């Protein structure tokens, strides 16, 4: 089964409304950001660099997920 490249991470259908949730890329980046921030510490001059690194990791996770690599 092929996984969607960047579908919603936490969609919710209440019956009255459908909430798409955040994108899978944003979820992966948030998880990476938490790890990077804890490991590297966060100084104001590092925020953009750490955020960029988090999205780079999210993109890598999506790429591996798309090809279905076994890890």
Please report the pLDDT score of residue 1 as a whole number. Answer: 37
Please report the pLDDT score of residue 46 as a whole number. Answer: 81
Can you tell me whether residue 19 is helix, strand or coil?
strand
Q: Structural domain boundaries of the chain?
A: 24-66
One pLDDT digit (tens) per residue for the chain, 71 residues: 345 578 888 999 999 999 989 999 999 999 999 888 876 666 777 888 889 999 999 999 999 988 876 65
């Amino acid at each position: 089964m092929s996984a969607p490249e960047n579908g919603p991470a936490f969609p919710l259908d209440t019956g009255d409304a459908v909430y798409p949730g955040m994108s899978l890329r944003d979820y992966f980046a948030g998880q990476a950001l938490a790890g990077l921030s804890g490991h590297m510490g966060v100084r104001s001059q590092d925020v953009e660099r750490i955020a960029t690194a988090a999205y780079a990791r999210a993109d890598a996770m999506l790429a591996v997920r798309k090809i279905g690599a076994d890890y």
